[in-house]
Structure 1
Amino acid sequence: MISAPPLLLVLGPEGHGVTRYGDDVARAVGALRPGARTVRVADVAAGDRALAGLDAGARVHLHATDRLFGRTPEDAADVVERWAERMRLTLTLHDVPQPSDGTMFERRRAAYARMVAASARVAVNSRHEQLLMDEFLPGVARAEAIALGARTGIPPSHPGDATRDLRVLIAGFVYPGKGHRPAVVAAARAADELRRRGEDVGDVAVRAIGAPSRGHEEDVVRLRADAAELGVAFEVTGFLGDDAFAAELLAPGIPLAAHEHVSASRSMLDWVEAGRRPLVVDSRYAAEMDALRPGTLARYAPDELAARLVDAWLDPTSTRLAPGASLAPTLDDVAASYLAWWAA
């Protein structure tokens, strides 16, 4: 007899990336196993109420990052420990601690170690994150690696861009380390190089498809001023609904994922699901995703960005996926992996 999946607890505000992905996985699990139960809660207090009615030892799975639970990493560890006392809790951990967390690294590392110790089992979203845990959370149980799943198996096909503007597109929240500043500098250099070659380049812009993360509004002001000095417009769309976000991903421009310290990236998948082939700064995670979905990314070294923008402007079809490109593993594949993992 195939065991039933755990209750799938989806925690967090609507629009949060981890919350949305947890909901995506829950819907895919429900499609494969119609009896699967999902409970969606906006915050910890609502989670407490939802879990209070469960039998002791009930099985629950949660996609988690420390920022969903409260103001501090310690808040997250406290909640996970409290919930794990009453039930068999499994976690998919996002935003695995790494030294680029800066002053928060040691606190996040201690909190994640507590969350892992309290949980029955833990998964992460990449082999890269599995290795981060081996490196920076030694002594804890090894996490299962289940890759992020695409919402579609084959992306839509679109013609190449036809524009003289040099526009660089970055999807997601605006915060330090996301790559907006290097993109501004590289865009200015790329435009200078193209004009030196006699190309008729129009406007030069870096467009952030999303809103600033809470507390980083002033970063946008500084980026806009610094970009203007280089002759580059820095544009920020603000928060967008699903349809408007999807339209922005299809707009003319060069898609870029320049996260300097990525653990696993939903925004890379956003691009390929829209049929785009983004430039992606090289990293262990980027190499893993390139091998997982061949031909869907264009990796570059940090000092190559300006030259790669030149190439992409000259050949905009290079920013579109080849017709029929496979994006597997899909959410259906991921749901099957979770069902097998929970049953093991």
Structure 2
Amino acid sequence: MISAPPLLLVLGPEGHGVTRYGRDVADAVLARDAGARVVQVADVAAGDRVLAEVDAGAPVHLHATDRLFGTTPEDAAEVVERWARLSRLSLTLHDVPQPSDGTMFERRRTAYARMIAAAERVAVNSRHEQLLMAEFLPGTAPAHAVALGTRTDVARVSSVGADRDLRVLIAGFVYPGKGHRAAVVAAARAAETLRSRGEDVGEVAVRAIGAPSRGHEDDVLRLRDEAARLGVAFEVTGFLDDAAFGRELVAPGIPLAAHEHVSASRSMLDWVEAGRRPLVVDSRYAAEMDELRPGTIARYTADELAPRLADAWLDPASTRLAAEASLAPTLDDVATSYLAWWASA
């Protein structure tokens, strides 16, 4: 039985989503239990030094995705196996492998199976991910599910005024499959439909709130060229600090989460924390989040995107959360769930 929280090891650079969420959870745990210990390390070498100093068999918890450990999935498996030999390591796994990983699917699947086998216990961030594990990691130990928690210290937008421009907003990194191309095509079609009805639509744009993922800089150039041919501006903000990112989320425009192959999505929470109600392409995960936080997202099927954008342009208030909308579970709720889970070990 673990009588106190494990050492909360936070791995990775400040800007990485999994690193940031791991720190958010750690801070929430610390707020509930002052005896918790949090150590943040920028890389594996620093993590090695921390694990070398803990008592043999001490409990350690880590939020992990394979990309935090090195350049290959095999790197991640090797590090987790090494750290598991030095501690009672539990993991919260992010980015659970699925066939949409393409050519990396089999390698990621093998690496995650090794990580799960090495860890004492494993958690994930959704029931959807539990099902992914059952589907694509058969034979591995079942994972505990703790839904992603919302921050409660984010200022929520109180109004979104009308704007002649039709601007679609997508938060997060730019990479293939995130939905930018679909948004460009749908925005062009929505503007065409609205103008055919006599509506005075101004500029048409898709705005990526973030930077291209490493190695995908050329994708931005291709998207910009394709968008221009359709009469759509493709805008990329580049990396933003927290304050600038928050301002972008509440700016005029239609919030959109169009990535169909998520395992769990921090960007959906970014929108709702800011008081926005994003359009979200329907999926098993989207349905789960709709059930968890009713009224906070607007689900659509892929062929509905253009008309849904047109409707949102006509009714900007539909992109704003109702005042009574609940964002639970919050990070405080998540901390309580983790403390109970660790105590049950």
> TM-score, structure 1 length as denominator?
0.99
Answering whether residue 331 of structure 2 is matched by residue 331 of structure 1, we say yes
* SS of match in other structure, 2:334: helix
- Between the aligned partners of 1:154 and 1:108, the Cα distance in structure 2 is 34
Please name the residue that 1:22 is paired with. 22
Instruction: Return structure 1 stretches of 4+ with deviation > 3 angstroms.
Output: none
* SS of match in other structure, 1:205: strand
Please name the residue that 1:150 is paired with. 150
Please name the residue that 1:189 is paired with. 189
- Between the aligned partners of 1:267 and 1:332, the Cα distance in structure 2 is 19
- Between the aligned partners of 2:90 and 2:233, the Cα distance in structure 1 is 45
For residue 337 of structure 1, report the CA deviation from its aligned partner: 0.2
- Between the aligned partners of 1:132 and 1:286, the Cα distance in structure 2 is 14
Work out whether residues 154 and 327 of structure 1, in 8 Å CA contact, stay in contact via their aligned partners in 2: no
Q: Please tell me the residue identity of whatever aligns with 1:85.
A: R
5 Å matches for 1:48-127?
48-127=48-127
Residues 289 and 269 from structure 1, CA distance in 2 versus in 1: closer, same or farther, beyond 3 angstroms? same
* SS of match in other structure, 1:36: coil
Work out whether residues 260 and 282 of structure 2, in 8 Å CA contact, stay in contact via their aligned partners in 1: no
Q: Please tell me the residue identity of whatever aligns with 1:97.
A: P
For residue 198 of structure 1, report the CA deviation from its aligned partner: 0.3
Work out whether residues 154 and 274 of structure 2, in 8 Å CA contact, stay in contact via their aligned partners in 1: no
- Between the aligned partners of 2:267 and 2:213, the Cα distance in structure 1 is 15
Count of residues in Structure 1 that have an aligned counterpart in Structure 2: 344
Moved more, 201-210 or 159-168: 159-168
Please name the residue that 1:162 is paired with. 162
Work out whether residues 157 and 323 of structure 1, in 8 Å CA contact, stay in contact via their aligned partners in 2: no
Please name the residue that 2:273 is paired with. 273
Deviations 1:19-46 (CA, angstroms, capped at 9, x unpaired):
0000000000000001100000000000
- Between the aligned partners of 1:90 and 1:2, the Cα distance in structure 2 is 12
For residue 86 of structure 1, report the CA deviation from its aligned partner: 1.4
Deviations 1:155-190 (CA, angstroms, capped at 9, x unpaired):
624113221000000000000000000000000000
> TM-score, structure 2 length as denominator?
0.98
For residue 152 of structure 1, report the CA deviation from its aligned partner: 1.4
Identity %: 81
Please name the residue that 2:135 is paired with. 135
For residue 232 of structure 1, report the CA deviation from its aligned partner: 0.1
Work out whether residues 52 and 86 of structure 2, in 8 Å CA contact, stay in contact via their aligned partners in 1: no
Work out whether residues 277 and 318 of structure 1, in 8 Å CA contact, stay in contact via their aligned partners in 2: yes
Work out whether residues 2 and 342 of structure 2, in 8 Å CA contact, stay in contact via their aligned partners in 1: no
Work out whether residues 60 and 89 of structure 2, in 8 Å CA contact, stay in contact via their aligned partners in 1: yes
- Between the aligned partners of 1:59 and 1:262, the Cα distance in structure 2 is 30
RMSD, aligned CA: 1.1
Work out whether residues 188 and 230 of structure 2, in 8 Å CA contact, stay in contact via their aligned partners in 1: yes
* SS of match in other structure, 1:207: strand
- Between the aligned partners of 2:343 and 2:273, the Cα distance in structure 1 is 30
Work out whether residues 77 and 115 of structure 1, in 8 Å CA contact, stay in contact via their aligned partners in 2: yes
Deviations 1:59-113 (CA, angstroms, capped at 9, x unpaired):
0000000000000000000000001011100000000000000000000000000
- Between the aligned partners of 1:84 and 1:244, the Cα distance in structure 2 is 39
For residue 260 of structure 1, report the CA deviation from its aligned partner: 2.2
Q: Which runs of 5+ in 2 are unaligned?
A: none
